[in-house]
Structure 1
Amino acid sequence: MTGLGWYIHHAGRGHITRFLAIRPHLDHEVWVFSSLTAPRDLPPRTRWVQLPSDSDVVESPEGAPRDPAEANPTANGALHWAPVAHPGHAGRLASIVEHSVAHGLDRFVVDVSVEVALLVRLLGIPTIVVAQPGARTDEPHRLAYSLADVILCPWAPGTHDLAPFAAARDRVREVGGISRYGDRADSDRTAASPSRSGGVVLGSLTSPLPAAEQWAALEAEVPHLRWRSVGFVAGTEVDDPWSLLRSAEVVVTAAGQNSVADIAAAGAAAIVIPQERPFDEQRATATVLEKRGLAVVAASWPSGPEWRSLLVAASALEPRWSEWGTSGAAQRAADVVTGVAS
C-alpha cells in the first residue's frame, strides 16, 4: 500500500474515536482529512489535513450574507451537502484531491460523506464506505453504496437490517461493534471481574430540564446507587472511563455506535435512551438492543418514578454482549481496509 486516505466526519466524536480504534491495526501511512483538529497524541505515520468548514455563512459577491443551507446543498436531491458557490466546500474537496494525487493514495476510507465518497471514486481510488444504521435508502446513500468497493459495517453479522445495501450485498462486510476498548477488554477477560457498584450516566443525553437539575433528581430518586456523570453534566468529561464502565452496576447511555460498543466490551448492564439523529440511526440500534435482550430501552429521559422500574429491569438482564462482536472488531475492520485491491 502506498498510502491510505481516511475522511472523518466532524459531527460528534464517534467517527474519530472509531478511526483511533482501528489505526493501531493498520501498518501503513495514513492521511486523515477532517474539519476536526488533530488529536493531541496522533498515532505514528499519521498525517492530519484539517479541512475548512463548509457550513459557515459566507458573503455573496454583492456583499450579502449567504447561508449554504439556502444554496441548493442537495443538488436537487442527488447529494446531502454540496452548497453552490461556497469557498469552504470547494476548498475542502480541492484539498482532498491535491493530497490524494500528490501522495499517491491507493485506497480511501470515507466515514462518512456521500460527496467525499463520490469525489475519491471519481479520482479512480478504491473506496471503502463506512455504513451507519437507520433508514438510509435515500438517493444519496444509495449512490454512495453503489460506487463503494467495500461497505464497512461496524456491527455484528445479522444485527442490523441490510435492506439499504440490497444492490450491493456482495460488498458488505459486517465486522462487529468497534470499541476503543476492544483490545483492553480481551486482556481484561483473563483477570478477575471487578465487583460492580454504582451507576454511570455516559455522554450527552437530551433531557427536558438542564442536566444539573436532572442529575439532582436522579440522585434523589435512586439514592441507593452512587452515581457518576461522565460528560452528562458539564465539566464531568473523562478521557478514559473504562474502569468506570467495567465496575458500574448499570450504565445509562445514548444509542450511538461507539457508546454501545464500549458498553458491550465492558459487559455492563445498560439503560439506553436513543437520541434524535438523522435517519433514525439511534432508534434503529435501540430497537435491536431491546429485541435481543441486551439492554433496557427508554424512549426519552425518564421521569423520577420511572427510574426505579428501569433499574429493576436492567438488573434482571443477563446480556449476551458477545453477540455485539466487539472482540477483534477493530482488527477485522483493518483487514477489510487492507484487503481492498488497489
Structure 2
Amino acid sequence: MARPIGYYVHHHGDGHRQRALALADSIGERLVLLGTGLAGRTGGVRTIELPDDCLPEQGFAGADGEAHRAQALHFAPIDHDGIRERVAIVSRWIADERPALIVVDVSVEVAMLARLAATPVVYVRLAGLRDDPAHLDAFRAAHALIAPFDEALDDPATPDWVRAKTTYFSGLTAHRSEPAPDAPRDDILVVVGAGGSMIDGPALAAAARATPDRHWRVAGLIEPVSDAPANLQMLGWVDDVAAEIDRATVVIGGGGDGVVSAVLAAGQPFLCLPEARPFDEQRSKARQLRAARAAVVRESWPVAEDWQAVLAETAASATGVGAKLHDPDGPARAAAFLLAMAEQRA
C-alpha cells in the first residue's frame, strides 16, 4: 500500500479543515488528517485526534507568554500536558506509518517536529506578511510551500525567495453545491467566520433598520438579537455557506480564506471587512482584493446612516474580476501536486 499523506489541520477558524476536505476528494484514502476537534466533521476521511493545545486561562491566542523561547517557535508553553501528548502522538504516527509527506496547515511547531522526524513538509502559507524568524525558518525547512489564494493576492512585501518556493492554488474550498435554477434569491448575506468577528448583534440590527427595503441574513455564530427588525434573519452556523452565498445579491464578510474563496467562486459583489489577525493576514488580503477591484473594503463596520450608500457601491462593483482570482480546478491541481511529490517517496 502506498505510504500515507498526512495533513495537519489547525483548530482556529474553519478554513484549514475546509481545505483538507477539498483535497481529500482528489487524494482519496491516502490522506490522513491530524488535528483537534475533527471527530464527526471529516466525512469518511481518516483522522488522528490530537489533544487540545489551548491555555486554560486564554484559549488559543497564538501567544504562550513564555520569556524563554527560541525565535524559530511561535507557541511553546512550558509544562503543558496536551502539547506533550500531541508531540508524542504525531511522532508515534510518523514512526509507525512513515508518511510520504505531511502538509502543515498551519503550525510552525508541527512543521519543525515533522522535519525533525525525517519527514518532508509541505507548508500552507497563508496571506499577510509572514517574515518573522519562525515563519522564515519553517519556509526554509519545508520541501515546498503552497498558498491557498491567487498570486495577485499575495502581500507585495513577501520576500522573493518565498514567492519563488510557493505554488499558488486558488479555490481550495470544500465542494460547492450548485444552486437550483429556480432557487429564490435573497438580498444581503453576512458571513461570520469561526475565528472571531467585529460583527455583533446590535450592529446588525442597526444596519437592517437603516435599510428597511433590504433583506439581511446572517450565517455564523453570533449573539442573539433581542429586538431584531423583521428584515434581519439569523441562520446560525451553516455547514454549506457556499450555497447561501450563491443565493445572495451582496455578500458581507471578513478577509479569511474560506469566505473570500467562496465569494470569488460565486462571483458575487463583496463587501470585505477584514478582521484583526496576526501578521496582518486579513487586512493584507483585503488591500489586494481592493487593488484587483474584486471587493469593496471597509476597515470597520459602517455606521447606520452610511449603509445605503455602502450597499449601492458594493452592488455596483460587480465587474467579474473576482472570478479570475478563483480556479475551480484548484483542489484537483493541488492534489496532483501533492501526489506527485508523494510518489517520489512511494
Q: State the shift of 1:242 in Å.
A: 3.0
Q: For residues 227-306 of structure 1, what are the structure 2 equivalents within 5 Å?
A: 227-231=216-220, 233-234=222-223, 236-306=236-306
Alignment-mate amino acid for residue 8 of structure 1: V
Q: Could you report, residue by residue, the CA deviation over 1:49-95 in whole angstroms, capped at 9, with x for unpaired residues?
A: 2111223349xxxxxxxxx934447x242210122332221210111
Secondary structure, in 3 states, of the residue corresponding to 1:255? Answer: coil
Which residue matches 2:227? none
Whether the 8 Å contact between 1:181 and 1:262 is mirrored in structure 2 is no
Q: State the shift of 1:283 in Å.
A: 0.1
Q: 1:16 aligned to 2:17?
A: yes
Q: State the shift of 1:214 in Å.
A: 1.8
Identity across aligned pairs (percent)? 28
2:335, 2:52 → 1: CA distance? 29
Q: State the shift of 1:157 in Å.
A: 2.9
2:182, 2:297 → 1: CA distance? 25
Which residue matches 1:69? 64
Whether the 8 Å contact between 1:72 and 1:84 is mirrored in structure 2 is no
2:268, 2:221 → 1: CA distance? 18
* TM-score computed with the length of structure 1 as normaliser: 0.87
Whether the 8 Å contact between 2:188 and 2:248 is mirrored in structure 1 is yes
Q: Could you report, residue by residue, the CA deviation over 1:149-191 in whole angstroms, capped at 9, with x for unpaired residues?
A: 1101111133313654533444310111322245x56xx7xx8
Q: Could you report, residue by residue, the CA deviation over 1:91-145 in whole angstroms, capped at 9, with x for unpaired residues?
A: 1011101011111211110000111111111222111000001110000000010
Q: 1:196 to 1:296 in 2, by over 3 A?
A: farther
Alignment-mate amino acid for residue 142 of structure 2: A
Secondary structure, in 3 states, of the residue corresponding to 2:152? Answer: coil
Whether the 8 Å contact between 2:99 and 2:119 is mirrored in structure 1 is yes
Whether the 8 Å contact between 1:271 and 1:314 is mirrored in structure 2 is yes
Which residue matches 1:64? none
Whether the 8 Å contact between 2:22 and 2:174 is mirrored in structure 1 is yes
Which residue matches 2:231? none
Alignment-mate amino acid for residue 54 of structure 1: D
Secondary structure, in 3 states, of the residue corresponding to 2:122? Answer: strand
Q: State the shift of 1:256 in Å.
A: 0.4
1:108, 1:306 → 2: CA distance? 47
Q: 1:94 aligned to 2:83?
A: no
Pick the aligned partner of 2:75 from 81, 86, 97: 81
Whether the 8 Å contact between 2:5 and 2:99 is mirrored in structure 1 is yes
Alignment-mate amino acid for residue 309 of structure 1: A
Whether the 8 Å contact between 1:179 and 1:265 is mirrored in structure 2 is no
Which stretch shows the higher mean deviation, 138-147 or 306-315? 306-315
Question: Which ranges in structure 1 are unaligned for 5 or more consecutive residues?
Answer: 59-67
Q: 1:295 to 1:81 in 2, by over 3 A?
A: same
1:142, 1:226 → 2: CA distance? 46
Alignment-mate amino acid for residue 146 of structure 2: L
Which stretch shows the higher mean deviation, 1-10 or 137-146? 1-10
Equivalences, count: 323
Pick the aligned partner of 2:213 from 203, 224, 228: 224
Which residue matches 1:55? 54
Q: State the shift of 1:195 in Å.
A: 7.2
Q: Could you report, residue by residue, the CA deviation over 1:295-320 in whole angstroms, capped at 9, with x for unpaired residues?
A: 11111111101211211111111232
* TM-score computed with the length of structure 2 as normaliser: 0.86
Alignment-mate amino acid for residue 215 of structure 1: L
